[in-house]
Amino acid sequence: MEECSIKFRGVSVAVGMPFDSDDFIGSVPVHSSSRVGYAWQSPDGWHGDVPRFFFSTLSPFAIMPSHRPYPASEGFDNPLGEFLRHYGKLLFLAPLVFIAIAAAFTSYYIVQPEEEAVVKRFGRVIAINQPGMHFKIPFGIDTVQSVPTARVLKEEFGFRSSNGEGRTQYRKDRAHTVESLMLTGDLKVIDVEWVVQYRISDPAKFLHTARDPRQTLRDNSEAVMRRIVGNSLGSDVLTEKRVQVSTLAREELQDLLDSFDVGIQISTIELQDVTPPELVKPAFNEVNQAEQERERLINEAEKRRNQVIPRAEGQASQIIAEAEAYRAERVNRSRGEAGRFTSILEQYALAPEITRRRLYLEMIDKVLPSTGQIYILPEGQMSPLPLLNLGRDAVPSVSPDASTPVTTSSRARATQSR
């Protein structure tokens, strides 16, 4: 018996030829991944216990002699058949193992701390999960989209910034200038740069309400800012009404996004650089400097006014208060004296002599404590006590009832003696 070889679907198979005759040309052991059979060739075609399509496949092949003859008793050489006979069952397990590994790797997902996961099953939202590890149906049945809901996002208009080498890089080109050039209410062209900071409040609406929610936000923000700037004066937007423009733009943009129901919450809108175009910037800077100088002088005048006017008002209030106090004091004193005089007059009418003496004594009692010592000296004689130096403290005077000079104190003492 000789061995021949043919190719069947890219695999070499052995062909056995037990004998040559007019009725039997050759035999072929046929094997596949599912079974092993045997086929032979006769003048009228191929025959055997293999599927019929093998015959149509083998019919074009002719039996070619091999270079290694062996006896018929040794059978035929078929190493692939022997391999399939021993390890064929293991080949069926390989796809199952692959499917199990794919299911294990696609049945869970992890949501980051700043995100929320939108879980969809066949395109329909079934859950919104918080940060952590979660499970889902594998093989693409359940799909997950992560949305950064806890992070503050921003959109820049009129410029772009990027972080590189630890420093923020600022970039502005012609395409960005188209976003920022606006016409004001007084027909002036200014360059307005602003930043919109926002958060995603509803991840499901953010993903499915609008086709491109980020572009929707940009278009509406630009429309709102152009409308507000177009209704304002250029000088106001450039100087004193920047905060009002930002606040009004944030409120109107939030109302628009709420009407679209896109799940976006506006945090702030901040105006960055608000400048005139480059061609007119030098002239505008001069005007701006003049405006600043005017504002400085006005502020200094206001400061001086705030210092002088309160001080003058305080002094005026003090003078008025002192005058009112003096008036009250004099009026009260006059009323008191008038009342005292009236009461004395009443007593004097009842007892004139006694009242007169009492008034005299009261007056002497007030005057004498302030007069000091009293010495009575005879007229024309020297002081008997020159060491007392009476001339410094005592004032000489003439007694009312004699021509003897006396001091003030002597007159008082003489009065007391009487």
- Mean pLDDT (the chain) is 76
* Assigned domain for 189 exists: yes
- Number of domains forming the structure of the chain: 4
**Are 160 and 194 contained in the same domain?**
yes
**Are 159 and 140 contained in the same domain?**
no
**Are 206 and 263 contained in the same domain?**
yes
**Are 184 and 235 contained in the same domain?**
yes
Whether the predicted pLDDT of 139 surpasses 70: yes
* Assigned domain for 201 exists: yes
- Judge whether 232 and 185 are in contact, CB under 8 Å: yes
* Assigned domain for 180 exists: yes
Q: H helices within 59-185, ranges in order? A: 79-105, 174-180
Whether the predicted pLDDT of 108 surpasses 50: yes
What contacts 18, CB < 8 A, 6 or more positions away?
1, 24, 27, 72
Strand-pair partners of 168: 163
Confidence of residue 348 (pLDDT cuts 50, 70, 90): confident
Find the range with the poorest average confidence among 41-45, 49-53, 80-84, 273-277.
49-53
Give the CATH number for residue 186. 3.30.479.30
* Assigned domain for 317 exists: no
* Assigned domain for 323 exists: no
Mean pLDDT of the 189-193 span? 90
Q: Which domain holds residue 117?
A: 108-147
**Are 30 and 58 contained in the same domain?**
yes
| Main-chain phi, psi angles of 207, to 5 degrees | -85, -30
pLDDT (0 to 100) of residue 384:
54
pLDDT (0 to 100) of residue 117:
93
**Are 231 and 249 contained in the same domain?**
yes
**Are 129 and 211 contained in the same domain?**
no
Residue carrying the six token digits 């199990």: 100
**Are 165 and 179 contained in the same domain?**
yes
* Assigned domain for 171 exists: yes
* Assigned domain for 67 exists: yes
Of 196, 183, 194, 272, which Cα lies nearest the Cα of 229?
A: 183
**Are 172 and 135 contained in the same domain?**
no
**Are 250 and 165 contained in the same domain?**
yes
* Assigned domain for 119 exists: yes
**Are 172 and 245 contained in the same domain?**
yes
Three-class DSSP category at 181: strand
Whether the predicted pLDDT of 413 surpasses 80: no
DSSP code at position 131: S
**Are 168 and 269 contained in the same domain?**
yes
Mean pLDDT of the 391-413 span? 43
